[in-house]
Structure 1
Amino acid sequence: MSARGRLGPFSVNQMTVKQLSLPELVRSCRTLGVEHVGLWREPVREYGVEAAAALMRENALGVSTLCRGGFLTAAEPAARREALADNRRAIEEAATLGTDTLVLVSGGLPQGDRDLPGARARVAEALAELGPYAEGHGVRLAIEPLHPMYAADRCVVSTLEQALDLAAPFPSHQVGVVVDTYHLWWDDRAAEGIARAGREGRLHSFQLADWVTPLPRGVMTGRGQLGDGSVDFGWFAERVARAGCIGPVEVELFNEQLWARDGHEVLTETLQRWHGVLAVPASGPAEAGAADVADVADVAAGGSGSAPLPR
């Protein structure tokens, strides 16, 4: 059996096709038979959190995660209070949207600060306050380690080991981690981290994106379409499957070239690629996914579902 057969279903992160409005995204998901989405706070708040929650329910779409909370490294008291308040709002939004997972990006170094351990300590302090608040709303906090190139400005948590150490003082139903292939593909300790996350019940989200070079200016939009770069998705999928992660497997791509294309076309391609990169069995050639990819093409051509699509 392929690792994909032991993982959860496909989920598309809203940023992968950010050119689609929320109703357009829902319509494309319905047409392709996609049953899960990962939402982002900014477009959801623009649409209306309650309205977005209703749209998801009416179309039987599960929300795999909400992105993002975090940015908890500020040292100045007023800024810290505002960050905590914003994260409490994010927890409330996640609960309203019906997801049990809020992704946290820790935040980078404050201006002029060079103390990485001190910044991580402030993240730990914030988790002590936010963890119980999240539990009270039925939400788990999922710390996402980002590639070290983001350590200065976006995320002082760069490895899965660091994320798990931050989560360790808290119950797993309060705080866990995200395994994102784009951020962890380079780490020779990723296998141990994934296994540890599984043992501790902290593997709250599995996200996919490829690493392609050269990176674009600013590096934020450098995530490649699945199969276009250096990531061994089969390797990650096998280890995540062994660790017992059964939730939706989310594709999160920040890519200007993809955003310039037709969003429905990109979503169709992404679903096909998802089947392809996860179709390789634990041992043996990649034959298992061919029928699945054909099925995706058939669904894309013919549509699915009987309920009316959103306008």
Structure 2
Amino acid sequence: MSADPRLSLNQATVKHADLATALRVTADAGIQAIGLWREPVNEVGLDVAARMLADSGLRFSTHCRGGFFTLPEGQARVAALDDNRRAIDETAVLSAAGAPGSTAVLVLVAGGLPEGSRDLVGARERVRDAIGELAPHARDAGVTLAIEPLHPMYASDRAVVSTLGQALDIAADFDAAVVGVAVDTFHVWWDPQVLGQIARAGSEGRIATYQVCDWKTPLPEDVLLARHYPGEGVIDFGSLTEAVVATGYDRDIEVEIFHADVWADAPARVARRTAEAFAAAVSPFLP
């Protein structure tokens, strides 16, 4: 069995699988790349995870996740920045362990409003400040920090960066090799400026990763778990994928799904279904 060579399975799609299982079902489905999450990596230890990744023969596409930068000054913010430095180091090690074509990309989720705050502008400035503190470490490690804008429904609790334009405005202060953006269809499809902002991101050399999944209503009670297989909802993968491809982006494309029914399914079946959905909904728009 073989899948589109551009497809990467983000480990969140098989959330309840341990690292060994995630690597195995990805390879068995003919998928050539995987994006990893910190928690399963840390369960086995970084050195062991790196050996497991190397033995799998898979490329490494991203590490998830860093961020949560909106805390005010204090010990909690210092601890968060220190944890992000560890995440940068993990990304470098895993990228080196992956098959040729692996990339060293750490996805950043900005963080929501601190408790009791209504200051969105100030929170975004703290995101900029935090990335400024981390950028030298990322540069030295050879890691790209990918700011991921999240849909506005997450602005209060998860990400005060809601549009690709906002993410690019923050990234503009830094070298494109060090700070880029993540383009995730679930989070940006609704934005009337998205195609222009994808072109802008491409012209600035800042698309660090492209992630795909679908949007379908009604949303579940827990809106975090609202992501579907590509092709099951309303997102126009043609226009978005063609816009990303037009920038020259030629890296892996991750499928990242958060959905209770998908997580309850057998990981091997999820991996196979991911490959099938990607082939039907995304592959026709790739060169």
**Structure-2-length-normalised TM-score:** 0.94
CA contact (8 A) 2:182 2:211 kept: yes
What residue number does 2:244 align with?
Answer: 240
Higher relative contact order (CA 8 A, sep 6+): 1
Q: Does 1:121 align with 2:118?
A: no
Following superposition, the deviation at residue 218 of structure 1 comes to 2.0
Number of equivalenced pairs: 277
Give % identity. 49
User: Any gaps of 5 or more consecutive residues in structure 1?
Assistant: 283-287, 289-311
Residue 220 of structure 1 is aligned with which of 213, 224, 227?
224
What residue number does 1:74 align with?
Answer: 71
**Structure-1-length-normalised TM-score:** 0.87
Matches of 1:58 and 1:263, distance apart in 2: 20
Q: Does 1:53 align with 2:50?
A: yes
What residue number does 2:24 align with?
Answer: 27
Matches of 2:205 and 2:247, distance apart in 1: 9
Alignment of 1:1-311 (within 5 A): 9-98=6-95, 99-281=103-285
Matches of 1:107 and 1:67, distance apart in 2: 14
The one-letter code of the counterpart of 2:231 is: G
What residue number does 1:297 align with?
Answer: none
Matches of 1:152 and 1:30, distance apart in 2: 38
Following superposition, the deviation at residue 32 of structure 1 comes to 2.1
What residue number does 1:301 align with?
Answer: none
Following superposition, the deviation at residue 76 of structure 1 comes to 3.3
Q: Render the CA deviation track for 1:252-281: whole Å, top value 9, x for unaligned.
A: 000100111111011101101101102435
CA contact (8 A) 2:108 2:145 kept: yes
Following superposition, the deviation at residue 247 of structure 1 comes to 0.8
Matches of 1:270 and 1:165, distance apart in 2: 33
What residue number does 1:292 align with?
Answer: none
Helix, strand or coil: the match of 1:220?
helix
Supply the RMSD in Å over aligned alpha carbons: 1.4
User: Any gaps of 5 or more consecutive residues in structure 2?
Assistant: 96-102
Moved more, 140-149 or 25-34: 25-34
The one-letter code of the counterpart of 1:34 is: I
Matches of 1:255 and 1:141, distance apart in 2: 26
